[in-house]
Amino acid sequence: MVEAKRPGMMPMSLGEVAQATGGHLLAEPEASGSASGSSLQVTSVATDTGQVQAGTLFVAIAGERVDGHDFLTVAAEAGACAALVAHPVEGVSLPQIVVDDTVAALGRLAAHNLERRRELSTPFTVIGITGSVGKTTTKDLLAALLRELGPTVAPVGSFNNEIGLPLTALGVGESTRYLIAEMGASRVGDIAYLTSIVPLDIAIELKVGVAHLGVFGSVERIAQAKSELVQGLRPQGVSVLNADDERVAAMAKLAPGRVLWFGLGQVQGAVKQDELDMGAANICTDSLDHPHFTLQARGEQPLEMELGLSGIHNVINALAAASVAHELGLPTERIGQVLAQQGHISPHRMALSQVEREGSSFTLIDDSFNANPDSMRAGLHALSTWGADEQTQPASKPYRIAVLGGMLELGEQTLDMHRTIGEYCARLGLDALIAVGGSGNDLSAMAGAMVEGASAYSAEQEQAQSTLVVYKAVDTQEADQIVIELTGQHPGSVVLLKGSHSSGLSDLAERWQGERLGVAR
């Protein structure tokens, strides 16, 4: 395996940076003994002073609460060689490159860095990933696979917007073989902008769901936004499409080159299972919810394998990553071995641990990074099947608790979708639902809607088939106390944390993980 080393950017002088960003260089006379400072070499870029080191260009971004221009002195003390600013900052002993918009200039600099890399004679491939769910997991799996083939740069966490993506692209240096670019969208045009910075050789389309439905207005508009990834391919670029999603499958007509299909072959009228380039069959899960399945690469012998990740929904993410790795030359057998080893991905995404709280202990499934209806259902399904392999007797299943926060940006359908999630908890036969509110009426109303949906379904069951116990917690502190009580009564419980970032459930996960006993496998 090639060592997983993150190379630095293509070194640039301040003069080159100024030219690439369309900025004007204001340099300190003493800078490296140069009257202009233009001979200084930039070897890294950061927007956080905590990431600054010698040779770093500090990019000052004015946010809603914090303005990076106020931290130029801190950046200089940390070793920054220059700063990219929207206006000159007085009293700072640091060369400054003044631009009209530092975020836009950051994008221009990233694009220039990739152009410099493509000018070299050695091969370089850029892979883009988008989808309403699964982007970060697929990115993590693909990064693990491609590091078997060469030095790979991939985003940290979910760096998938107009700031995070350029920062990732500025990690590409002369030895980088692969760049993985995760691309998110809050509106039509976002991905088109991102692909203008990072033109793609391969595009992975995962799923068109209802995330940000309130912003986009319709699923059709979401599909339009996601299709910008395929349209952002370079000439003859390869499209890797989910055959099980009809809206994704329709993007084939936009593809400039070859199309690779992955999926389970479950959609009528789409690509059939024997026509898939990468498929899976005979899917089941073990008692820890690790999927086992038969991996089928077109034209090859089937391969029996398992995932190190929990959640049957991760099979489709693994197929997407496997499709690209196989296309780039990684043997199927090695793909299976690497995917089986990936038990840890980005924080708060189906992360498993054992937690002890005030005398009670439980297994935590921390999927609290964010949530939309599609990912919420996937997480709940994983919870429902936990400990339920073919040999498990119903009476021995663990007590399953869903701690759910609100899902944002769903527009007029917000409360209806939360009621549906509550009903889904009851349909799955979970044992307890704790719907968590928060500051502001919106989160409280979302929690109330989940409670309504679960209670209404349970009341409709003539023979009380649903045994779900439902709670509405005012905040995460109350939810914490309810979990302590329930897990104390039911040793060996399993708890799922899932909600949008503003619900605060990731903070609750951090609190619990401060007391965790170890990773559950």
Q: What contacts 148, CB < 8 A, 6 or more positions away?
A: 1, 2, 325, 330, 334, 338
Look at residue 178 and give its three-state secondary structure: strand
| Long-range contacts from 475-482, C-beta under 8 angstroms, 24+ separation | 475/436, 475/437, 475/438, 475/439, 475/504, 476/436, 476/438, 476/503, 476/504, 476/505, 476/507, 476/508, 478/436, 479/403, 479/434, 479/436, 479/508, 480/357, 480/508, 480/511, 482/434
Lookup: tokens for 242? 């989910």
Nearest CA to 9 out of 127, 115, 135, 129 is that of 115
Residue type, 387: G
Q: What contacts 40, CB < 8 A, 6 or more positions away?
A: 13, 14, 31, 32, 34, 81, 82, 95
The answer to whether 458 is a known ligand-binding residue is no
The answer to whether 131 is a known ligand-binding residue is yes
The CB density around residue 417, as the number of other CB atoms within 10 Å, is 20
The CB density around residue 53, as the number of other CB atoms within 10 Å, is 12
Q: Is 311 left (phi over 0), alpha (psi -120 to 50) or beta?
A: left
State the Cα–Cα distance between residues 314 and 351, nearest whole angstrom: 13
- Which residues does residue 26 pair with via DSSP β-bridges, in sequence order? 96
The answer to whether 134 is a known ligand-binding residue is yes
391: burial class by Cβ within 10 Å (0-12, 13-18, 19+)? exposed
The answer to whether 63 is a known ligand-binding residue is no
Q: What contacts 347, CB < 8 A, 6 or more positions away?
A: 157, 369
The answer to whether 135 is a known ligand-binding residue is yes
Nearest CA to 59 out of 35, 37, 92, 81 is that of 81
Which H or E element spans position 249? helix 246-249
234: burial class by Cβ within 10 Å (0-12, 13-18, 19+)? middle
Look at residue 400 and give its three-state secondary structure: strand
Q: What contacts 273, CB < 8 A, 6 or more positions away?
A: 264, 265, 279, 281, 296
Lookup: tokens for 126? 């850029």
Binding residues, as ranges, are 131-137
Residue set of the binding site for ATP: 131-137
